[in-house]
Structure 1
Amino acid sequence: MSQEVDVVMDTPPEEQARPAKTAERIRLFAQPAIVVVVTAILLVYTFTRDLTATQKETLNFSTISGAVTTHIVITFVVTAIVLAIAVPLGIILTRKGYDKLAPIFIGIGNIGQAAPAVGLLVLFFLATGKTGFWIGVLPIAFYSLLPVLRNTMLGFQQVNPSYIDAAKGQGMSSGGILWRIEFPLAVPYILAGLRTSLVLAVGTATLSFLVGAGGLGILIDTGYKLNQQLILVVGAVLAVALALLIDWFGALAERFLGPKGLR
């Protein structure tokens, strides 16, 4: 037994990490392939069979492409808002003198994350008395804010203080230290939070139809209300496929956009 333990402990870290890296590479290739194949099979099956008049009203190229496009736009607008708010705020909350405010903003972010997404959408609709694209986007952005905010703060907090001291010793300014040392080292954490926010946004966007913002939720709702299983399946599968594809893009960003030495 002791000999087996010794073998494991003597294994270099690179050897231990190799299976995980191999599995990640396989997933990076397999995930989009599976999404494309399943989606293609579903769409070919849908458009090559005899549809009823009700199904033809919904299952046509214009309606499906419009729903998918709107869903993607909602997801990326939400992501842009989250990045524009969470990253600068996360940086500020790691600066000396402002770090005492961190629990307040993390608490606010936790409220957005803990509250049901459908509740946020309905409450925002009731508060504004309006419907439309932005009434769907803003609550989803609030719901997706926490992962990027928390990971941005964590990324900057994990920077080794000796790096900062060495930079100061070389006469580097505070701004130079922030953008040339701290930010690059925090990028992997920010990207991990961004990936989580993307998945949250694309999943929650299926509810945006409730406030007239559109998206793939329209197909799911239509199929459910009219008891049309084919419409329901098409909407659900496309929503899942889009979520997996967005997650794949997030994985690519984590793998290729971080500092080379930390990949």
Structure 2
Amino acid sequence: MIFADAFAWLVDPVNWSGGRSIPVRVGVHLLYCLGAVLGAAAIAVPLGLFIGHTGRGGVLLVGGSNALRALPTLGLVTFLYLLMGGGPAGVLIALVVLAVPPILAGAYAGVQGVDRGVVDAARGMGMTGAQRLWQVEVPNALPLLVGGLRNATLQVVATASVAAYVGVETLGRPLLDGLRVLDYGQFVGGAVLIALLAVLLDALLAGVGRLVVPRGLRLSAGSRRRGVELAAAAAQPDAGGSTA
């Protein structure tokens, strides 16, 4: 019954026209997500590459990322919104702050995960530090870097819904309006739109990743993932046996 009401809300022509229509809210949601991910990438990618390349500040990076992840989303959005005088800049800054950790972790882990033998060989060939970074480490770090961008995008798509609490017309507005009047069809319809947007953006970034990441690196990353999964499975005790 709820899903039937959600479908009825989604196909209602009233919700597809006007300044508070579904297309307008999707557009606003996308703009905030795009601005937040680009802003976070501009901060986190250079910082993550620098720390991963030099090996300096890794402990501080982990602690800072964990601290940012622990920030309450609604409290941060509301605080910065009020601090910036009620403008959209406060919401955008809050989303940038929340998007930085996954991108930073992807950039740092990508560079740190490059085979040290490859880096040493590049050093032995006379490459400078900058050449090793851009010609060896960054290309090999692309799978994890793209993965960090995908994680950040998914997080921002979900978090941008909270911006409706401070009056921004994102896709979070149907959630708040539905809860306020107990219209669960509207609530579920809004949730479906957010989920679909997240899936589409993730598929788009996955396609971009296939374009920018060399095929050999994709295969090696897949092999490493399968190796980790097999190792984890082998480490599990047999369900029918006993442990010594």
The TM-score, its normalising length taken from structure 1, stands at: 0.73
Give structure 1 regions of 4+ aligned residues with deviation exceeding 6 angstroms: none
2:105 aligned with 1:114, yes or no?
A: no
For residues 134-157 of structure 1, the C-alpha deviation after alignment (integer angstroms, 9 at most, x for no partner) is 211111221121111112111111
Match for residue 48 of structure 2? 90
Q: Does 1:195 align with 2:160?
A: no
Residue 137 of structure 1: SS of its match in structure 2?
Answer: helix
Structure 1 residue aligned with 2:141: 186
> Could you say if the C-alpha distance between residues 228 and 183 of structure 1 is closer, same or farther in structure 2, counting changes exceeding 3 Å?
same
Aligned-pair CA distance for 1:129: 5.1
- 2:57 matched residue in structure 1: 101
Q: 1:69 aligns with which of 19, 27, 30?
A: 27
Q: Is the alpha carbon distance of 1:122 and 1:160 closer, same or farther for their aligned partners in structure 2, counting shifts above 3 Å?
A: same
Distance 1:163 1:100 in 2: 20
Name the CA shift for 1:233/1:152 in 2 (closer, same or farther; >3 Å). Answer: same
The alignment covers a number of residue pairs equal to 212
Q: Which of residues 90, 94, 102 is equivalent to 1:135?
A: 90
Q: Is the 8 A contact 1:91 1:152 kept in 2?
A: yes
Structure 2 partner of 1:155? 110
Deviations 1:44-98 (A, max 9, x none): 96236xxxxxxx4xx23332111000001111111101111111001111243xx
Q: Percent identity?
A: 29
Alignment-mate amino acid for residue 142 of structure 1: V
Unaligned runs of 5+ in 2: 219-244
Q: Which residue of the partner structure matches residue 238 of structure 1?
A: 193
**Is contact 1:133–1:212 with CA below 8 Å preserved after alignment?**
no
User: What SS does the corresponding residue of 1:216 show, helix, strand or coil?
Assistant: coil
Q: Tell me the distance in 2 between the aligned counterparts of 1:227 and 1:140.
A: 28
State which of 117, 128, 131 in structure 2 corresponds to 1:173: 128
Give the match for residue 253 of structure 1: 208
TM-score (norm 2): 0.78
**Structure 1 position 46 matched with structure 2 position 4:** no
RMSD (Å) for aligned C-alpha atoms: 2.3
Structure 1: gaps spanning 5 or more residues: 1-37, 49-55
1:64 partner amino acid: I
Q: Equivalents in 1 of 2:201, 2:98: separation in Å?
A: 17
C-alpha distance in structure 2 between counterparts of 1:43 and 1:69, whole Å = 22
